[in-house]
Structure 1
Amino acid sequence: MSQRIVSIGECMIEMSGGEDRSYRLGYAGDTLNSAWYLRALLPDAWKVDYVTALGADKYSGDIRNFLQTNNIGTDHIQTIPARRPGLYMIHQEAGDRHFTYWRDMSAAKLLADDKSALAAAVECADLVYFSGITLAILAPKARGRLLGAIVKARDNGAKIAFDTNLRPALWSSPRVMASVLTAAASLCDIVLPTHTDEAPLFGDATVDDTANRYLELGVEEVVVKDGSKEALIATATERVRMAPPPAASVVDATGAGDSFNGAYLAARLQGKSITEAAQAAHRTAGIVIGHKGALVDPALVR
């Protein structure tokens, strides 16, 4: 039986490269990246919809076309004529990637302003996926509208999955960030945090501390990522530790965690155990880091 998956967040224009001042234009965003791998790994009959807001400009149109071409639903992308997509540029410095963002006029910051459009977007969803970045870019009242729509979707039978994806620069203070992310997580069935991001904010000494904190909120399934170290998948009755397979080479780590999330959720939606899902997630992330960019050819991960 086919299902409908809804991923909510911001799709940005990505300018990467920079050698000789030449850049490659692409599209990326944490929840879009996860939706990409959900689409790649789920049956074709299942729907994967992306929910955001875009402008009425050429580049917003190009993003819509890109999603449609890759069989990601755009029916619930709102149009905000006075806004545009956010943009970021990547440059190399001291052997590492650095990001510069332009998102003040991002249409996605208004994705939760229309309550009825938001309700329609999550109606009849089997899984709703969002992230800490989704929440961070919204005004406080808009966050409330989004979480209200998510509660209604859950009450109507949807599973709710959430990557806390901490980005301190997007929040007014660490206290607000911790409070909002904790409140959001308490509404969810599956939470997919990253231990090294969580530890400074919440004081988690170990991956088990991170898992326990979310289990105590009532989350059914916590998937704690930890970079190249083993992931911990914890429920009230089971704990699985899964190390990633050795990677042949790391070309670009962009989107590794997002691809892990997409593959994990795709496996769970198809009835796989948490062990099988973790294996699939590590495998997919291992492929992604061996290629440039967050979005690799779907054929590579199937």
Structure 2
Amino acid sequence: MRVLAIGECMAELAPAAEPDDYHLGFAGDTFNTAWYLARLRPDMDVSFFTAVGTDPLSYQMREAFATSGIDSSYVLSVPDSTVGLYMISLENGERSFSYWRGQSAARQLATNPQLLARAMTEVDLIYFSGITLAILDVTSREILLDALRVARASGKVIAFDPNLRPRLWSGTSEMTATIMQGATVSDIALPSYEDEAEWFGDDDPIATVDRYASAGATTIVVKNGADAVHFRHGDMSGVMPVPPLNHVIDTTAAGDSFNAGILAGIAENAPLNDSITLACRLAGAVVQGKGALVPIDPTLFDAVSVKGNENA
């Protein structure tokens, strides 16, 4: 299966071993998921659709895509532009983030509708997020949603993580309305209950499942931190416990890696229970490392039974 992730990748400045030293890396929600997919399934064709600048930092980002095994043939170059940047600060073991993304070329990723449409025709599964929508202006947002709508109608599988980030939106009403627009073009919804409860007022994860099902998603998997995962796939619904962890170091990419596990299983037509098991194992391994991109053991994929079980 060929997978296309759409969104923003940013330059990351993370504290290094020496005080006042920082390590340069690259991360971003949909990119993180693509990265873990490529690590988990090296035989899978994973592409990333974004826009970068023409400066040295943008070229370094392109090199990072290549060394990660992620196809960058759909990456746009925006002249006289650069990429977004964030810096991680540590104080008494607590992480805080400072962002500089107003100049990010990724805000222009939907300015070439023809390339966007062509990219979608050449893959099987398309993944985007609420952050993907949030960074775009209204016109670009509509271009992306229209392209996703057409792709879904043609038989492509669309996966969506709402990834609610209020600071990226002009207001709560714009955020919630646009997120539900994203849900209406999606087959798979991967929300996080904590965010959904805060911004949509969901009383429990079942309410979150019901809302995304009503929007048109046929597979919904609700993440809830260390608490149980609620899911629905067609007429089947259920709850799966999350294995306890003794030591959590960094939860930065917990949700992104979880999504990669779900998509890896779905790409193999595996039972959804197996995909959730894989997602929990992967996220569990990631939060016991440091940073967004943590080396993983591909044998985690052994959790998946590739049998094409149509009842899953």
TM-score over 0.5 (shorter chain): yes
2:167 aligned to which of 165, 169, 175: 169
**Structure-to-structure mapping, 1:137-216, within 5 angstroms:** 137-216=135-214
Q: What is residue 36 of structure 2 aligned with on the other side?
A: 37
Q: CA deviation at 1:94?
A: 5.7
Q: What is residue 107 of structure 1 aligned with on the other side?
A: 105
Q: CA deviation at 1:252?
A: 0.9
Aligned residues: 299
Give the Cα separation in 2 of the matches to 1:26 and 1:240: 38
Structure 2: tracts of 5 or more residues without a match: 302-312
Q: CA deviation at 1:156?
A: 2.1
For the Cα contact (< 8 Å) 1:14–1:25, is it kept in 2?
yes
Q: What is residue 28 of structure 1 aligned with on the other side?
A: 27
Tell me which amino acid in the other structure corresponds to 2:284. G
CA deviation profile, 1:220-279 (whole Å, cap 9, x unmatched): 011100111111111341122122212231111110000000011101111211111110
**Structure-to-structure mapping, 1:263-278, within 5 angstroms:** 263-278=261-276
Q: CA deviation at 1:93?
A: 3.7
C-alpha RMSD of matched pairs (Å): 1.4
Q: What is residue 287 of structure 2 aligned with on the other side?
A: 289
Is 1:87 aligned with 2:81?
no
Please state whether the residue corresponding to 2:63 is helix, strand or coil: helix
1:222 aligned to which of 196, 220, 223: 220
Give the Cα separation in 2 of the matches to 1:20 and 1:42: 37
For the Cα contact (< 8 Å) 1:125–1:153, is it kept in 2?
no
Q: What is residue 124 of structure 1 aligned with on the other side?
A: 122
Give the Cα separation in 2 of the matches to 1:50 and 1:113: 16
Tell me which amino acid in the other structure corresponds to 1:192. L
For the Cα contact (< 8 Å) 2:55–2:80, is it kept in 1?
no
Structure 1: tracts of 5 or more residues without a match: none
Is 1:248 aligned with 2:249?
no
Give aligned-pair identity as a percent: 42
Give the Cα separation in 2 of the matches to 1:173 and 1:85: 24
Give the Cα separation in 2 of the matches to 1:257 and 1:212: 20
Tell me which amino acid in the other structure corresponds to 2:289. H
Is 1:69 aligned with 2:52?
no
Q: CA deviation at 1:153?
A: 1.4
Q: What is residue 238 of structure 1 aligned with on the other side?
A: 236
CA deviation profile, 1:127-183 (whole Å, cap 9, x unmatched): 000000000000000000011111121122210000000000000110010111101
Give the Cα separation in 1 of the matches to 2:70 and 2:173: 35
For the Cα contact (< 8 Å) 1:247–1:286, is it kept in 2?
yes
CA deviation profile, 1:1-20 (whole Å, cap 9, x unmatched): xx210000000001111662
Give the Cα separation in 1 of the matches to 2:129 and 2:206: 21
Please state whether the residue corresponding to 1:21 is helix, strand or coil: coil
For the Cα contact (< 8 Å) 2:40–2:297, is it kept in 1?
no
